[in-house]
């Protein structure tokens, strides 16, 4: 009888003290003390492989030079990560120059070159208190892809050829539906009709193309499936609706200045090495070889003496 | 741009199993256990324990209160039922702007669901004492607290553990959705694998398998615990 | 800073969102009911007969209990991902994933319902000359209706409330709005969530009414404690 009470008492006491301990632990963990080495760089990335790799690259390179870095990881599409940036949850993330101009600041694409787009983006970000560090050599634009069979069937070479197809389904990320650099721009500039939009959510658009659930899909130019011997045809975009899309890290101006010139130099050194072949190789390692973004970044930085 | 182009390391050629996306590639699992599967498994275990522990503590207090003040039971039960209908996806997305990307964002909804699953079972357990036993206790001169401690709580153990089983397993399950708001837990490898140009089956099955094994293990541990605490009751 | 103005606004603006998009939301809700109904149908189609037969022969209680545990242990995300790799993207894979979710409560309750019928009553029926099948159909099933229906009700609400997750793999429904915060903003996400909650509550109430209607009059005064 006494043993049972002791057990029950122990059980209840354990549960409650466990709970209390957890609560204390959670709050203690949340209020972690920040180190003395300059400001903490809080990195975020968007929700696809290339961004995970970029985040890992910048994080590891900065950590190697003694900066304190926290990588918050996948924060979702542009709209969401912008909110995280402006609300101060992060102070650094790699963004595409054209996206900054057209989707963040909703300006029509007037720039005619990568450099011009970068300069415009830099000017716009400065008005909000953010710095744009150097841009990468590589660019990654949205492109419309169809399967080779589809391209042959309808004679599709350029985006405007899509008007030849009757009614069809168009797959893309949910935010593509309302973007100037995506569906809205395609419809306005090329008159591709009003296809039924299929939001892909967590699944890749290539899966839908393969299964015939969509005729055309909005994908990225540096995707591994578009590499050599591709099963897909990319439709040309002579009007540059999707803009020029080199990557440039957005950093909160106050953080950039207090982090010093070594900070900018470290980040720019990494960016300078990111050519199209480099990024395509890394994307392939991620999506085809199923390596982790962290290990890919580590291998690349090591090979280039940045780690 | 600086002088030479970058050195592109050879990332190696993945095994045919991986490039063909065959059903299950043990090679990948072995290679990525430490950098992908294990960390997320540990996160998942942590998330579950915190949610169930706090949920239990809160549900226990609420149940004791309703046991003492019977009129509380109906309103609390209704609120609990309502909370259960909140779609888990929405619950996480709604808490996200309040607490940002953090463990708190994940734990608040998980604890809430855990609480509402435990509350009915604890209250049912507390009521499990047969009327004549309670009368006997009263007749023996036990106070209310003594009755609670020596009679009602011990008799409530099977129901409480039953509730803990449901809560633990459900929390492990709902925890997979948490990856949408912060990349923690075993849901994250699943989402990443789903988003690949061809959904990577091995990662999905491996992470999914771990979730199921974790849930069933917790269930087993609790069943064994019940056998130890109250060996005379059957399933 | 925890509850800043923008967030609390969204909770209220969500109602405005619902008022502004009734047709769209109704269409989405219908999509979700379609998916849920199909899943429930398959789940019940499999689980009801199995549970009833097992309960009648008083065998396989481990299976019945195990089904519920397994149903809870299989996260919807894992199920959806699994069926996606096998069946592709769209309606069917999500229907199967949700159907698996539905089988647990239905099977367990079907088993409990038929198994728990008073043995004396069953013996009396057999003694009166009824065959096994007649006993099942005329005695055990009607007496099991409360538990059977409770299982279906729990499964239905679980499926309807979980269906939004299917939007990550082409399932459609109100989930399409919930996962697309970029397109619909927080007020849209909340508005769609309120709709899902209302839908779940509606399904619960409708099935409860149906259950009351189908319970044999003699049993109606019986108040059985149910979990939810």
Buried b (16+ CB within 10 A) or exposed e, A126-144: eeeebbbbbbbbbbbbbbb
Q: Check if the interface score ipTM surpasses 0.90.
A: no
Closest CA to A51 of A179, A182, A172, A140: A140
Q: Do C72 and B124 touch (CB under 8 A)?
A: no
Q: Do B174 and C75 touch (CB under 8 A)?
A: yes
Q: Which of C7, C77, C164 sits opposite B87 (nearest CB)?
A: C164
With bands split at pLDDT 50, 70 and 90, how would you rate the model's confidence at A18? Answer: low
Q: Do A296 and B198 touch (CB under 8 A)?
A: no
Q: What is the mean pLDDT of chain A?
A: 86
Q: Which of A7, A20, A303 sits opposite B9 (nearest CB)?
A: A303
d(CA A179, CA B96): 24
Interface test mutation site (partner B, options A288, A290, A293, max chain B beta carbons within 10 A): A290
What is the per-residue pLDDT across B125-134, written as a single tens digit (0 to 9) for each? 888 888 888 8
Q: Which of C89, C179, C182 sits opposite A211 (nearest CB)?
A: C89
Which chain B residues contact residue A147 at CB under 8 A? Answer: none
Neighbouring chains of A at 3+ CB pairs under 8 Å are B, C
Angle between helices C22-56 and C91-115 (to 10 degrees): 40
- 3-state DSSP assignment of residue B192: helix
Mean pLDDT is lowest, of A227-231, B112-116, C100-104, C136-140, for: A227-231
pLDDT at residue A30 tops 80? no
With bands split at pLDDT 50, 70 and 90, how would you rate the model's confidence at C49? Answer: very high
Q: How far is B43 from chain C (nearest CA, A)?
A: 16
A27 Cβ neighbours under 8 A, 6+ residues apart = none
C-alpha angle C6-C8-C11 in degrees, rounded to nearest 5: 110
**Pairing state of beta strands A232-235 and A92-96?**
unpaired
Phi-psi region of A94 (alpha: psi -120 to 50; beta: other; left: phi over 0): beta
C77 Cβ neighbours under 8 A, 6+ residues apart = B176, B177, B187, B190, B191, C165, C168
Q: How far is B7 from chain C (nearest CA, A)?
A: 36
Q: How far is A79 from chain C (nearest CA, A)?
A: 6
Query: DSSP E strands: which ranges in A200-305?
Result: 216-220, 232-235, 247-252
Q: Which of B54, B150, B197 sits opposite A224 (nearest CB)?
A: B197
Share of chain A above pLDDT 90, in %: 47
What is the per-residue pLDDT across C1-11, written as a single tens digit (0 to 9) for each? 345 555 677 88
What is the per-residue pLDDT across A150-167, written as a single tens digit (0 to 9) for each? 999 999 999 989 988 888
What is the per-residue pLDDT across A94-128, written as a single tens digit (0 to 9) for each? 999 988 988 888 887 677 889 999 999 999 999 99
C-alpha angle A276-B190-C178 in degrees, rounded to nearest 5: 95
A2 Cβ neighbours under 8 A, 6+ residues apart = none
HSE, side-chain direction, 13 A CA sphere, residue A290: 34
Q: Do A278 and B8 touch (CB under 8 A)?
A: yes
Q: Which of C170, C176, C181 sits opposite A80 (nearest CB)?
A: C181
What is the per-residue pLDDT across C118-159, written as a single tens digit (0 to 9) for each? 888 888 888 888 888 888 888 888 888 888 888 899 899 889
State whether residue A290 sits within 8 Å of chain B by CB.
yes
Q: Do A210 and B157 touch (CB under 8 A)?
A: no
Q: Do C186 and B97 touch (CB under 8 A)?
A: yes
d(CA A26, CA C76): 28
Angle between helices C22-56 and C5-20 (to 10 degrees): 90
Question: For residue A72, which phi and psi values (nearest 5 degrees)?
Answer: -75, -10
Low-confidence ranges of chain B (pLDDT < 70): 1-4, 233-235
With bands split at pLDDT 50, 70 and 90, how would you rate the model's confidence at A5? Answer: low
State whether residue A303 sits within 8 Å of chain B by CB.
yes
State whether residue B24 sits within 8 Å of chain C by CB.
no
Helix (H) / strand (E) element for A42: namely: strand A41-45
Mean pLDDT of A173-195: 85
Helix (H) / strand (E) element for A74: namely: strand A69-74
d(CA A116, CA A104): 17
Which chain C residues contact residue B170 at CB under 8 A? Answer: 72
Q: Are A235 and A162 in contact (CB under 8 A)?
A: yes
DSSP-derived letter for residue A225 is G
Q: Do B104 and A30 touch (CB under 8 A)?
A: yes
What is the per-residue pLDDT across A59-84, written as a single tens digit (0 to 9) for each? 999 999 999 999 988 888 787 788 88
Question: For residue B75, which phi and psi values (nearest 5 degrees)?
Answer: -60, -45
**Pairing state of beta strands A142-147 and A216-220?**
antiparallel
DSSP-derived letter for residue A174 is G
Q: Do B94 and C168 touch (CB under 8 A)?
A: no
Give me the pLDDT at residue C228, please: 40
Give me the pLDDT at residue A19, please: 66
What is the per-residue pLDDT across C214-225, written as a single tens digit (0 to 9) for each? 777 766 655 554
d(CA A199, CA A203): 9
pTM of the model as a whole:
0.81
HSE, side-chain direction, 13 A CA sphere, residue A296: 25
Q: Please tell me which residue of chain B has the smallest CA distance to C76.
A: B173
Q: Please tell me which residue of chain B has the smallest CA distance to C157.
A: B85
Give me the pLDDT at residue B100, please: 73
Mark which residues 193-212 of B lie under 8 Å from C by CB.
193-194, 199, 201, 204-205, 207-208, 211-212
d(CA B31, CA B208): 17
State whether residue C31 sits within 8 Å of chain A by CB.
no
């Amino acid at each position: 009888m006494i043993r049972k009470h002791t057990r029950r008492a122990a059980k209840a006491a354990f549960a409650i003290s466990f709970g209390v301990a957890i609560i204390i632990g959670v709050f203690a963990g949340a209020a972690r003390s920040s180190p003395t080495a300059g400001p903490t760089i809080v990195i975020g990335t968007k929700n696809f492989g290339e961004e995970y790799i970029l985040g890992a690259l910048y994080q590891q390179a900065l950590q190697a030079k003694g900066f304190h870095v926290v990588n918050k990881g996948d924060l979702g599409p542009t709209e969401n990560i912008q909110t995280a940036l402006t609300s101060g949850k992060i102070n650094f993330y790699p963004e595409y120059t054209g996206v900054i101009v057209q989707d963040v600041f909703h300006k029509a694409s007037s720039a005619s070159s990568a450099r011009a787009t970068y300069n415009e983006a830099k000017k716009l970000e400065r008005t909000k208190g953010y710095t744009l560090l150097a841009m990468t050599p590589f660019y990654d634009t949205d492109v419309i892809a169809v399967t080779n069979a589809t391209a042959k069937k309808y004679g599709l070479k350029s985006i405007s050829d899509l008007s030849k197809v009757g009614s069809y389904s168009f797959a893309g990320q949910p935010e593509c539906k309302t973007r100037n650099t995506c569906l809205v721009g395609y419809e306005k500039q090329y008159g591709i009709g009003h296809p039924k939009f299929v939001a892909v959510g967590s699944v890749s658009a290539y899966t839908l193309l393969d299964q015939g659930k969509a005729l055309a899909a909005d994908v990225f130019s540096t995707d591994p499936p578009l590499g050599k011997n591709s099963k897909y045809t990319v439709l040309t975009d002579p009007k540059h609706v999707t803009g020029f899309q080199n990557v440039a890290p957005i950093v909160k101006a106050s953080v950039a200045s207090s982090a010093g010139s070594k900070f900018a130099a470290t980040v720019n050194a990494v960016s300078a090495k990111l050519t199209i072949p480099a990024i395509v190789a890394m994307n392939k390692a991620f999506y085809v070889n199923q390596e982790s973004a962290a290990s890919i970044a580590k291998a690349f930085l090591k090979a280039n003496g940045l780690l | 741009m600086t002088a030479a182009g970058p050195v592109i390391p050879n990332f190696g050629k993945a095994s045919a199993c991986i490039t063909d996306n065959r059903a299950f590639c043990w090679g990948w699992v072995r290679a990525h256990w430490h950098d992908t599967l294990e960390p997320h498994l540990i996160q998942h275990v942590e998330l579950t324990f915190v949610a169930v522990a706090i949920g239990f503590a809160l549900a226990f207090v609420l149940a004791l209160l309703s046991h003492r003040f019977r009129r509380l039971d109906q309103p609390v039960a209704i609120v609990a039922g309502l909370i259960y209908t909140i779609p888990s996806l929405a619950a996480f997305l709604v808490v996200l702007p309040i607490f940002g990307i953090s463990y708190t964002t994940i734990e608040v909804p998980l604890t809430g669901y855990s609480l509402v699953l435990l509350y009915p079972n604890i209250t049912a357990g507390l009521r499990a004492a047969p009327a004549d036993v309670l009368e006997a206790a009263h007749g023996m001169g036990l106070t209310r607290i003594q009755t609670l401690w020596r009679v009602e709580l011990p008799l409530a153990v099977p129901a409480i553990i039953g509730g803990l089983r449901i809560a633990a397993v459900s929390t492990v399950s709902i925890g997979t959705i948490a990856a949408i708001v912060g990349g923690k837990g075993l849901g994250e490898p699943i989402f990443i694998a789903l988003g690949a140009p061809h959904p990577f089956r091995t990662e999905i099955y491996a992470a999914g398998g771990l979730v199921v094994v974790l849930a069933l293990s917790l269930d087993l541990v609790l069943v064994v615990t019940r056998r130890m605490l109250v060996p005379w009751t059957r399933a | 800073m925890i509850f800043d103005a923008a967030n609390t606004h969204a909770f209220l603006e969500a109602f405005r969102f619902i008022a502004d998009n009734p047709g769209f939301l109704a269409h989405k809700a219908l999509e979700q009911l379609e998916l849920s109904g199909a899943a429930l149908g398959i789940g019940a189609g499999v689980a009801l007969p199995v549970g009833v037969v097992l309960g009648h022969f008083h065998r396989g209680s481990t299976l019945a209990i195990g089904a519920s545990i397994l149903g809870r242990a299989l996260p919807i995300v894992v199920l959806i991902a699994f069926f996606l790799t096998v069946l592709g993207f769209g309606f069917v894979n999500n229907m199967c994933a949700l159907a698996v979710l539905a089988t647990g409560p239905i099977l367990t309750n079907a088993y409990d319902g038929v198994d728990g019928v008073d043995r004396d009553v069953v013996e009396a029926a057999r003694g009166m000359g009824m065959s096994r099948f007649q006993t099942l159909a005329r005695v055990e099933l009607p007496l099991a209706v409360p538990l059977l229906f409770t299982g279906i009700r729990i499964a239905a609400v679980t499926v309807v409330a979980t269906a939004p997750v299917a939007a990550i793999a082409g399932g459609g429904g109100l989930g399409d709005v919930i996962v697309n915060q970029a397109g619909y903003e927080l007020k849209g996400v909340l508005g769609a969530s309120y709709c899902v909650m209302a839908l779940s509550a509606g399904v619960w109430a409708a099935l409860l009414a149906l259950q009351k209607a189908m319970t044999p009059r003699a049993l109606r005064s019986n108040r059985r404690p149910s979990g939810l």
